[in-house]
Amino acid sequence: MPNYSWPPMEQRRVMGKRLARLDGAAKASGKAKYNSDVRPAGTIHGAILHCPHAHCRVRSIDTSAAKALSGVTSVRVAAEPGKEIMWPNAEIAFVAARTEEIAREALRLIKVDYEVLPHLVREENLAAAGSRAKPAGEVVTGDPDAALRSADVVHEGEYGIPVITHCCLEPHGSTVQWSGNKVEFWPSTQAISNVGGDLAKGIELAAGNVHAHMDYVGGGFGSKFQADLWGIQAAHMSKESGGKPVKLYLDRAAELTIAGIRPSVYGKIRLGAKRDGTLVAWDSLTWMTGGMAGGGLNADLLPYVFRNVPNRRVNHTAVATNTGAQRAWRAPNHPQVSFVTCAALDDLAAKLNMDPLDFFKKNANLTVREAVYVSQLDKAADMIEWKKRYHSRGDKTAGSMKRGLGLAVGTWQGGGHASQCRTNIHPDGSVEVELGSQDIGTGTRTIITQVAAESLGLPMNAIKLNIGDNGLPPSGASGGSTTVGGVASSSRIATLNALEKLFEAVAPSLGAPADQLEAVDGKIQVKGNPAKSLTWKAACAKLGVKTISENGANDQRNPRGLNAAGVGGVHMADVSVDVETGVVTVNKVVAVQDCGLIINPKLAEGQVFGGVIMGICAALMEERVMDEATGRCLNQDMEFYKLAGIGDIGDIQVHMDITPDHDKRGVVGLGEPATIPTIAAIANACTNAIGVRVPTLPLTPRNVLNALAGRRMA
Amino acid sequence: MSKKDTELKPKPAPESGKGFSRRGFLGTSTAAGAVGSGLMEQTAEAAQGAGGKGITLAGETEITLNINGQPRKVTVEPRTTLLDALRDRMEVTGAKRVCDRGTCGACSVIVNGKVSYGCTMLAIDAQGKRIQTIEGFGNHPVINAFVQHDGLQCGYCTPGMVVAAKALLDRNPRPSSQEILEGMGGNLCRCGTYVGIKQAVAEAAKELRGGRNA
């Protein structure tokens, strides 16, 4: 059996290099074909009629005029009379037509009579939720009441972070062609190996009858794991339209309301400490909504990171609202609990008259990685010049511009998912690496190729990588920061298994046993004796007519040291706030990210930059605004559902400890941890600048000015 | 004049030569939208009055668009946007449909030398204009700069970013950092690639001026 261990850091020739992503040129030139760009011959277009009410029952639906419209090939009712609709923009009917314009016209001809029912679409006022609020039960450790009574300093505060959406730029959808008993499926997905089977289940076909293919996906962030009703209805419409491919993608309003949201978290928190800053007690009542399912929160997440506080009480209540359902959102629930926790800790530190940097370090023993957090806090403090520039709460300088610093922490697992890979070595020397994975923009293509090239001693361009198809060896969905560990490990194992077969084939020619051969610099040679070698091409020619095809898998129960889980991270922010206008400007964010073996530092840093920027978006501007009067979403477009632009991000600095110590852990995913602490760091910096807590995010002028005026959260 | 008629009266167009005003644009587009949907209903009623079936409400017509220097014939409806004509009827898919409302810039194309949102221009209004899409850029240095500085992740906003960057450098070969932020400010990215984009645009500017130190 080959030695699958990663080669020592100093011996790597391809791994660890700052290579540009392999699909960069295809994407940046516009040549990359996303599935929303793909139009197989004969493609027709679908469109969806959405419900205008938050809660209603369909009394009747008349599709006759739509069916009669020239060019319409299929009209399907998704909500039959009597069906109760639970959130706005829910799907009522689907239309396929020769062009998208005709399909949309047909939607206008569908007549629906609704019985409007009472709704609840806002959750920030728990008292108003009535029977929609479902307490999850209390979790208690130690004696929080006694600890709070005996604490030297107690802080009590309210905090809120609203629902935000994924806002994938490529909307959810697919093109589907159902002809005979075969289905061709071009989805926008994070799970190419599974999504075909998911569609098959939805349309009651055997999984093997659905072929799914995707080369590129325009963002997912946790919301694109299923075929969804949209894929299923597109399939049916294709069948009803004589087997023509049906292209059906959500419009932006639907994308922002029914294609996934991140749940809110609101909370009332009491916490206490000794005079020296030792945290002794935590007592929280949190609530949130993720749609009609309410929204669960693992009690172990509070207090976040500082989980081992000796006395704690955690209560959580799920609030069912008539809003689109939640989906996994980059580090599910972590950014919210990071905010709630780190804001409350920051407020307690202020009450103690303690620098939060000292306070967080003092209590790092309540985390499961004390040494990591202490060193990260020190490093981040150096990077942002905390010791020099920190001032106690409230910038006392003259003028309306106030400046402040804030910090926060995060943690994530990120171990590799189950992944299978096949490596083929052909007699002509060509190499294929094949796995049913997908590159969601993280650089998966590039890092797999780096691993294969490293393992075979070949240049990057000698490896042909095939991903994005459910006919390939199955690999996990890209979620939970599990992809890099999973695919790096499976491709390492498959590639070394194939190389071992090649060694066996050429051993006689080199006059040495197979286990005494190595692959270096495009040659197969006797270990330590470059004089006895064959070029890669000559070695492969020894295969005669036989292609080597070997598999490898990442076994999550035994990752062989190739991948690992569990990281911490610290972010610090420097912001300016204009107390006359309420505008918050990010000057700088520093991110110190725990990591394992880094296959490509350029791409790894890109993940952290991206995570920080998503955090800036959520801290400053992102919020799904629901209107209780009408039950509608008021900002279901990108004009009013705001994302940060290039001018809003300030200076971002990333530090990753790429050291032998970290390297020997194996590969650890970092897409998710990188986005967790940014929001709380910015919120704490804002508080440090203006002297008062803005209890409810985002830090819009309205919320900032309300806090300055002493007005409570809405 | 009824209240409805008053509401439908188009607002005066923004003065030309004063540059783009978002507020002015929103005012006119809202009015235009109301007029459009009003007409649509009238047409629909007329169609139903005439028996309905088989009548194409808006009608398709063949027009010629000048795409990347080539005259291209395409069949569109009056309501078809330039973006949808490119993507759904001409297989020109570099420009993406994201917000579809003139906010995000993923559909950016260059029309008569000016970067424009393809989702807010009707195809019929693009007749007789020079339309440059990313497919016509060849090996423009901006593309390689985005790759080398990792100014992309999922890549869906990237063609629009590249178009905006080229348009910026065409009119200002030596942009300051602040001018890069302003020039790229009409495009949104969700993955968070702005750090690489800033570097890419600055490097591409140097490259276009004839080398790194020029």
Please count the structural domains in chain B. Answer: 3
- Specify if B12 maps to a domain: yes
Tell me how far apart the alpha carbons of residues A209 and A192 are, in angstroms, rounded to a whole number: 15
Residue A613 makes CB contacts below 8 A (sequence gap 6+) with A644, A649, A652, B189, B192, B193, B194, B195
Query: Do A708 and A690 form a contact (C-beta atoms < 8 A)?
Result: yes
Assign A176 to helix, strand or coil.
strand
- Summarize pLDDT for A360-382 with one digit per residue, the tens: 999 999 999 999 999 999 999 99
Select from A29, A35, A216, A608 the residue whose CB has the most chain B CBs within 10 Å, as the one to mutate to test that interface.
A29
Tell me how far apart the alpha carbons of residues B148 and A693 are, in angstroms, rounded to a whole number: 42
Tell me how far apart the alpha carbons of residues A497 and B107 are, in angstroms, rounded to a whole number: 46
pLDDT interval class at B3 (50, 70, 90): very low
Query: Chain A closest CA to B115's CA: distance in Å?
Result: 16
Q: Is the pLDDT of residue B27 over 50?
A: no
At A478, which helix (H) or strand (E)?
none
Q: Is the pLDDT of residue A293 over 80?
A: yes
Looking at the complex, does the CB of residue B86 fall below 8 Å from at least one CB of chain A? Answer: no
Residues of A in contact with B158 (CB under 8 A): 27-28
- Summarize pLDDT for A24-67 with one digit per residue, the tens: 999 999 999 999 999 999 999 999 999 999 999 999 999 999 99
Assign B24 to helix, strand or coil.
helix
Assess whether B76 and B110 both reside in one domain: yes
- Summarize pLDDT for A449-506 with one digit per residue, the tens: 999 999 999 999 999 999 999 999 999 999 999 999 999 999 999 999 999 999 999 9
Assess whether B130 and B156 both reside in one domain: no
Residues of B in contact with A28 (CB under 8 A): 143-144, 146-147, 151-152, 155, 158-159, 162
Predicted pLDDT at A443: 98
Predicted pLDDT at B4: 40
* B103: nearest CA partner in chain A: A639
- Specify if B122 maps to a domain: yes
**What's the Cα-to-Cα distance from A704 to each of A336, A619, A699, A708, rounded to whole Å?**
19, 12, 6, 6
- Specify if B44 maps to a domain: yes
Query: Chain A closest CA to B129's CA: distance in Å?
Result: 22
In 10 A of CB A551, how many CB atoms?
16
- Specify if B214 maps to a domain: no
Beta bridge partners of A44: A246
Instruction: Provide the token pair at B110.
Output: 């260059």
- Specify if B97 maps to a domain: yes
Tell me how far apart the alpha carbons of residues A104 and B84 are, in angstroms, rounded to a whole number: 13
Domain CATH code at residue B190 = 1.10.150.120
Closest to B165 measured CA to CA, from B199, B193, B142: B142
Assign A63 to helix, strand or coil.
coil
Predicted pLDDT at A712: 59
Predicted pLDDT at A17: 98
- Specify if B125 maps to a domain: yes
Max CA distance (Å), chain A: 85
Task: Out of B135, B168, B191, pick the residue that ends a domain.
Answer: B135
Assess whether B71 and B114 both reside in one domain: yes
Closest to A653 measured CA to CA, from A671, A678, A672, A676: A678
Between the two ends of chain B, the Cα-to-Cα distance in Å is 64
Assign A596 to helix, strand or coil.
coil
pLDDT interval class at B210 (50, 70, 90): confident
Q: Residue range B140-164: average pLDDT?
A: 98
Residues of A in contact with B191 (CB under 8 A): 219, 441, 610, 614
Query: Chain B closest CA to A435's CA: distance in Å?
Result: 19
Angle between helices B194-208 and B158-171 (to 10 degrees): 40
Assess whether B123 and B146 both reside in one domain: no
Predicted pLDDT at A711: 72
- The size of the A-B interface in CB pairs under 8 A is 189
Q: Residue range A338-350: average pLDDT?
A: 98
- Specify if B213 maps to a domain: no
Assess whether B110 and B166 both reside in one domain: no
Predicted pLDDT at B58: 59
DSSP 8-state symbol, B89: I
Q: Is the pLDDT of residue A616 over 90?
A: yes
Query: Chain A closest CA to B181's CA: distance in Å?
Result: 5
Assess whether B151 and B95 both reside in one domain: no
Residue A486 makes CB contacts below 8 A (sequence gap 6+) with A416, A417, A418, A419, A437, A475, A476, A554, A563
Residue B102 makes CB contacts below 8 A (sequence gap 6+) with B25, B29, B117, B119, B120
Q: Is the pLDDT of residue B185 over 60?
A: yes
Domain assignment of residue B87, given as a range: 61-135
Select from A31, A101, A111, A676 the residue whose CB has the most chain B CBs within 10 Å, as the one to mutate to test that interface.
A101
Q: Is the pLDDT of residue A714 over 50?
A: no
Q: Residue range A188-217: average pLDDT?
A: 98
Task: Out of B135, B160, B176, pick the residue that ends a domain.
Answer: B135
Tell me the residues of chain B between 45 and 84 that have a Cβ less than 8 Å away from chain A. Answer: 48, 52-58, 77, 79-80, 84
- Specify if B123 maps to a domain: yes
**What's the Cα-to-Cα distance from B56 to each of A11, A538, B45, B47, rounded to whole Å?**
69, 66, 13, 8
Assess whether B98 and B158 both reside in one domain: no
Tell me the residues of chain B between 97 and 126 that have a Cβ less than 8 Å away from chain A. Answer: 97-101, 103-104, 106
For chain A, list the domains and their CATH numbers: 44-117+172-249 (3.90.1170.50), 331-414+564-708 (3.30.365.10), 416-554 (3.30.365.10)
Assess whether B10 and B27 both reside in one domain: yes
Residue A490 makes CB contacts below 8 A (sequence gap 6+) with A419, A420, A421, A435, A475, A552, A553, A554
Assess whether B143 and B128 both reside in one domain: no
Residue A24 makes CB contacts below 8 A (sequence gap 6+) with B146, B147, B150, B152
Inspect the interface and report whether the beta carbons of B133 and A30 lie closer than 8 Å: yes
Assess whether B158 and B197 both reside in one domain: yes
Residue in B40, B54, B155 nearest the CB of A216: B155
Domain CATH code at residue B105 = 3.10.20.30
Instruction: Provide the token pair at A582.
Output: 């309420």
Residue B70 region, left (φ>0) first, then alpha (ψ -120 to 50), else beta?
beta
Assess whether B128 and B150 both reside in one domain: no
Q: CA geometry: angle at B135 spanning B133 and B137, to 5°?
A: 85
Task: Out of B93, B114, B135, pick the residue that ends a domain.
Answer: B135
Q: Residue range B60-68: average pLDDT?
A: 96
